[in-house]
Structures are given as structure tokens and as C-alpha cells.
Chain A
Amino acid sequence: MSIQPLVQLESITKNFGPNEVLKGVDLEVSSGEVVCILGPSGSGKSTLLRCINFIEQPTSGLVFVGDEVIGHRRTEDPEVLQQVHENAIARQRSEIGMVFQRFNLFPHMTVLENITHAPRLVRGHSAAVANEAAMALLEKVGLADRAAAYPRQLSGGQQQRVAIARALAMEPRLMLFDEPTSALDPELVGEVLKVMKELAAGGLTMIVVTHEIGFAREVADRVVFMDGGVIVEQGSPAEVIGNPQNPRTRAFLSRVLK
């Protein structure tokens, strides 16, 4: 019995005007797998993540998540896909969590409201149900005592942990992290990585763009190295980080591991 991967990217390309940012990316991620994407700045890592949940629509290529084809609907003819409207894409997105470099918490809502907002509006949960779930998540990220605070009153590390809880509140089957610790003061990086490690251990499927080589080495099941809009090399952390084959991977690692 062959296991169908949870995520399957098929020759994704993305152009911004004349600028070819993704030049045909294929990637498969199985359920429960943690994939770390490494690569120099501008290599298209963020764009690739944003193509997975269609915040950026790929110029060509397909994104399969579970039995959904993001941005499309299957038809009776197995060879025909129907593009769908923005609201249908929104429903597909609600199954995919995303954590941003700059947290992007809603500043006009409390921590609790940030977390319950989408479950109530999108899933139609009652306030009581949503609040209870949110408090459990805050407990998990160690911030149960800050439920009534506004984002501006929290440190960067706390904000990012709230952002993770907010994404988890939608019970996603896939989580995307775009450099979740890059905007943090060095002493706050650890608390966020700790939460992410626990999620990985709990079996959540995660695609993580990061510059934290230590995290990738310790937590990733697979490391993907991107450069110039393509995947240059991928494999286990031991292979890609410990014994890189491609000269571009070697050059990048020697720069960041210094």
C-alpha cells in the first residue's frame, strides 16, 4: 500500500511581471512530516509557502493538500479541474495554518479574541466553545495568563506564540512557518522554537522556512535547500546539513554556520 502524500506540489512556477521567482518546484510532504526549507534571501522560499495556501496564486502548477486541489474543484471528468472563487479558496485555506515572520496579530483585538476570531466567524463556533479551545491552546503555548492582553503589550516571543495558537485554533492539517523567529531578539528565539518542537513531536505536518540550522538538524525529517527559485538539494538533515553535495548548498551553509 503506497501512502498518498498529504502535500504535493507539482511544477509550481511564479512570475512577478518579468521576474521569474519560482522556476518549477516539485515537493511532496507526507502526513506528520516536518520539512525545513533553507536557502539564501530572495531564493523564493516565502513565495513558495504563500503559493501553497494561494495567498499568492502560482503562475502555473498545482497544489494538492489532502484530497483538495487548492484553488480548484475536481469535476466528473478526472482530467478537468474547475477554478473556484475566492470564498471557496478561503474555505480551503482554513485547513492550512500559517505563521508569519512579523506575527501579524490583530492589534485591535485581545489575545483571546485573536485566537477565537476565525473559529467563530469561519467555523461558526459559539463564544463558549471557541473560548474554551483558545484557553487550552494558550495553556499549550504557556500564555494562559495573558488572554486579556493586547498584542502591543506582549514581547515578540509571546506574540509569535499567540500567532501559533491562533493558527492552531482552526485545527489545520498542515502548518506553514515563514521564518517564525527571524524578527525576534536572540533571547526570545528559544521559547518559540520550543513550542514548535512540541508541535512536531505531536505529529503535526509542518513546512518551516528557517535560518535556524540547529532547529532543522534536530527537528526536521527532511531538509530542502532552495536557490534561485528551484530546489537544489534535499534529504535528511544529516545528508543536507552534515554532508551537502551541491556547491551552492555548501557555500550557503558555510556562511550561516560561521
Chain B
Amino acid sequence: MTPTQATARITYRIVPVKHWARWIAAIATAAVLVWIVASFAGAQIDWPTVGEYFTFPAIVSGMGITVALTVVSMLIGIALGVLVAVMRLSSNPVVSGIAWIYVWFFRGTPVYLQLLLWFNIALVFPVVGIPGLIEGRTVDVVSPFVAAILGLGLNQGAYTSEVVRAGILSVDEGQGEAAKALGLPGTATMRTVVLPQAMRVILPPIGNETIGMLKTTSLASAIGASEVLNEAQHVYLVNNMIMELLIVSGIWYLLAVSVLSVIQYYVERRFAKGSSSKALPLTPWQKVVWFFTSRRSVA
């Protein structure tokens, strides 16, 4: 300890950390990108055709079917998932046993096989309906669209039930006990106390699975559902523009997934409210706004 240290302070120059790895990674990535773009540009791809078929009626209606399949199958999957999760946690061994068998079967077989199974269900049940009231030939009722919804929805239910079960188990046991002690019946306890709190755990994987479902619907082309990939195949079998139409459907999928990702972000944010004493972080859009407005005020 010399007296000079206390009196004359050195004004240090701060040298920032150099992020060498970032630079190398960025350059390598750029090189690979250039190579991929160059390959596609040089290949026998007719880009005007891509643009032309992007809004081709069959492709657009196929995309509509893809979205419809996704939405309906997810709704069925979530409804079944909640039901089966609650059944699995039931103290009634028959109820939990049925739920266990359901999950065992639908998780244990490929969804592709399940789609084929539903499409050919008429081989097992030639007639459906309530005898004497409404009856119909199964082949008429189970169209490719219906078979796809049954296959995708029931399969999704098995996966969602595991997600919901994990969410329910994540809620403190004392919550259910407090509701019980107040005299709430079991269903009201589940609906108004446990499930709302389980949502924070349930939602992120559900978002993921919705995005997965959007792409899995393409399997329904195997049973003739007229979703976007099936339509693309129909078109390129006629005009032989294979790469072009695959690119068209690829762009459509990317667009839809991007929209879903944004929706997922805001839904999760909404359910995070009140769960922490900290303020929520800014959304990307808020960050952009903040970046520009704060710069201006500093200058």
C-alpha cells in the first residue's frame, strides 16, 4: 500500500473479449450457404414454375386440408389427452387400466400403421352407427380425411396424455388437498384448481407437438387425403416438375410453422403471467422498438 495508489488513479483502457469462435462459425456457415444456394441455382430448377405453382388452386386447397387436419387432430388429441391423463391418475383400477392400454397401443405402433388401420377399418366393422337409429356403410363414412383425423388424433391423444399427466403431477399436492378440504368435488378440483396450474408445464410441449403434427399430416397422403404434399405429388406426376413442387410445398410448410411459432411464443407468454414476481422479458418486437427509441434519446 503506497500513498500514490490512493491519490493518482490509473485510467485503464478496457480491451473487449474477442469472440474468435463466433467469427469462424459465421464464416463457415456463410460459405456453406453460398454453396447450397449456388447448387440450387445451377440445378435444373425452373424458379418461375415455383412461383407459379405457389398459388396453384390445388396446392392452396391442399394447404387448407393440411391446416384443417392439423387443427382438428390436435383438438381431438388435446381433448383425449386430458381425459386419458385424468383417467390414468384415477384410483379406479378399471379406469386407469383402460387409459394405460390406450397409451400402450397408440404409442406403441407407428402412426403410419394406424392411418392404414383406420383407412381399412371397414374390413373389421363393415357397418357403423347406432343399430336402428343411424347406420351407414363404413366405407362411406370413413373417408380419407376422416381416417386421417382418427389416426392422427388418437395417436396424438396418447402422447398428449403423457404431457398432461406430467403437468398434473407437477402441481403441488397441497393444492388438490385444499380444494378437497373445501368440499370441491373431484372434477371441479381438476378443472378449476389443478389444470390451470398445470398449463405452464403442458403448453410448451403442446406447441412443439402442434408443429410436429403439421408435418405429420403429410403421412395422410398415403391413404389419399388431399393434403398439400399429396396435391404436389399429383401435379408433378403430370408435369414432371418434381423439385419445383417439392420446393413449393416446403415453402408452405415453413410459412405455416413460422406462424405457429409466433403463436406459441405469445400463448406461453400469456400463461407465464403472475407465475413469477419478476417482470416478463421484452418480446422481440418490443426489443426492436426499444433499440431505436433508446438510441435516439441518447443521441
Contact = CB atoms under 8 A, between A and B. Distances in A.
B175 A104 contact: yes
A98 to B, nearest CB: 4
A112 interface: no
A166 B196 contact: no
Contacts of A95: 183
Contacts of A97: 181
A87 B177 contact: no
A25 interface: no
Contacts of B192: 117, 121
A167 B183 CA distance: 10
Chain B, interface SS category: helix
A98 B183 CA distance: 10
Interface residues of B, number: 21
A121 B193 CA distance: 12
Given A86-B186, A87-B185, A152-B277, A106 B180 contact: no
B184 interface: yes
A146 interface: no
B188 interface: yes
Place the interface of chain A in its size category.
20 to 34
A91 B193 CA distance: 18
A148 interface: no
A242 B29 CA distance: 81
Given A91-B183, A118-B182, A108 B197 contact: yes
A94 B274 contact: no
Contact of B180 (A90, A107, A152, A170): A90
B174 A93 contact: no
B163 to A, nearest CB: 19
Contacts of A64: none
B185 to A, nearest CB: 5
Contact of A53 (B181, B184, B188): B181
Contacts of B274: 107-108, 150, 152
B277 A93 contact: no
A104 to B, nearest CB: 4
Contacts of A152: 274, 277
Contact of B193 (A90, A94, A106, A167): A106
6 contacts: A90-B183, A95-B183, A98-B181, A106-B179, A121-B192, A122-B182
The 5 A-B residue pairs whose C-beta atoms are closest, nearest first, are A94-B183, A104-B178, A118-B182, A98-B181, A104-B174
